Structure 1
């Protein structure tokens, strides 16, 4: 399990989610509309030249583990570090969010709007198709959600966890996460997630819930340079 988690971007895009990705044996990305994430067989030596034909100028992608200089044809727009965490707790005794609504394609617009407002991480208009997503509504308005994104045999990521600023402090995110954790464990999967190192509040919550730190890695946002001529 550990080697799969070490390079989970690639092991998802070239494995479980290969049918939702595009690229070559040297570089892959989620297809347009899904989360803008890229992966490489060796993330510390990424082949961006192999990825470039599958990208459009102006697209922004997230990649991890790589800290070298910007390759030809690309710009680095942001750099930080994130903590990859893996579940180390017990099975939740019950469904903590039995009243949550399972999201489907009809909710995609609201899910994207909530993600753009709260910035839980890379999110696209089709991200909720990557796994199960559940949410809480106030009337017809989506105010909190959590779901699944990357996956490899025996592993499933919890992602897209966010709550509208006007509805925070009600425990929505924690309850939705525990619902997903329970469902994953019952399927024989180990939950994992990513949290930015600077987000100390969320990191502390996840530790208290039962996650443990697996590793800390560089995360970068890169974009093809429209001025580049090979």
Structure 2
């Protein structure tokens, strides 16, 4: 299974090995860093004893394991993986853009509007994040999340609904991409496969679909005794 088809495992065995926590055959981030765990291969059986020790509300992306009786995998929305195939990205005008502190709680508050639960208290330590403020409030955000060494994920791209349609997302994504290229890194990203508006933006910026990941839905592991 190629690393792009199993992105969490790829990140935790390469550019973010220092963030990896081992649990049997699984690897995962600490719960306050990112809600992702991984197995090396599709369909790998994971024993109940390991699942019981896994932090709550963790998600698999790419390779989905086989879980024992008493546990359930809930299929969530499919994810389209996109990789930047264009040339050098010119730096956008920087007047509006602010480099954010890695532990700025405003990032978690803003992302909770767009995708609650995925941006944790220490997600900002995974890479560099930048934002745009209005009236002293963070209203748009983009940054870096999974790191494969030569590839890095553009992530947390969101704009508060009150400030949508002003080009903030495009500006911030270009800023993040330019920073990656300056380090010799190719940008890539994941987006909801049904999010046509976001996909159109990324295509306009030079990203190309790498295909919907094999079993590319996000799956959260929960014991059957817990309500879904």
**TM bracket, shorter-chain basis:** 0.7 to 0.9
Distance 1:149 1:76 in 2: 24
Partner of 2:223: 225
Q: Kindly indicate whether residue 63 of structure 2 is the aligned counterpart of residue 72 of structure 1.
A: no
Aligned residue for 1:83?
Answer: 80
Cα offsets for 1:63-111 (capped at 9, x unmatched) = 123467654343233422111000011212233444311111451x211
TM alignment of 1:18-167, pairs within 5 A: 18-24=17-23, 26-42=25-41, 44-49=42-47, 51-56=50-55, 59-66=56-63, 71-107=68-104, 109-119=105-115, 122-167=118-163
For the structure 1 residues 152 and 190, does the alpha-carbon distance in structure 2 shift closer, same or farther, using more than 3 Å as the test? same
- Please list every run of 5 or more consecutive structure 2 residues that lacks an aligned counterpart in the other structure: none
Q: Which runs of 5+ in 1 are unaligned?
A: none
Deviations 1:36-82 (A, max 9, x none): 0111111x1234327425424xx222212346765434323342211
How far apart, in 2, do the equivalents of 1:78 and 1:7 lie?
A: 16
CA distance in 1, matches of 2:68, 2:83: 32
User: Matches of 1:130 and 1:147 in 2, distance apart?
Assistant: 9
SS for the counterpart of 1:213 is strand
- Counterpart CA distance in 2 for 1:213 and 1:121 is 25
Deviation of the 1:130 alpha carbon: 0.5
Change (3 A) 1:66 1:179: same
The alignment covers a number of residue pairs equal to 223
Aligned to 1:174: 170
In 2, Cα distance between equivalents of 1:130 and 1:47: 29
Q: After superposing the two structures, state which structure 1 stretch, 137-146 or 184-193, moved more.
A: 137-146
Structure 2 Cα separation of the partners of residues 221 and 152 of structure 1? 21
- TM norm structure 2: 0.88
Return the TM-score normalized by structure 1: 0.87
CA 165–8 in structure 1, closer or farther in 2 if over 3 Å, else same: same
Higher relative helix content = 1
Q: 1:48 to 1:179 in 2, by over 3 A?
A: same
Report if the CA contact (8 A) 1:86-1:191 is conserved. Answer: yes
Report deviation, 1:146: 0.2
Distance 1:106 1:33, change over 3 A: closer
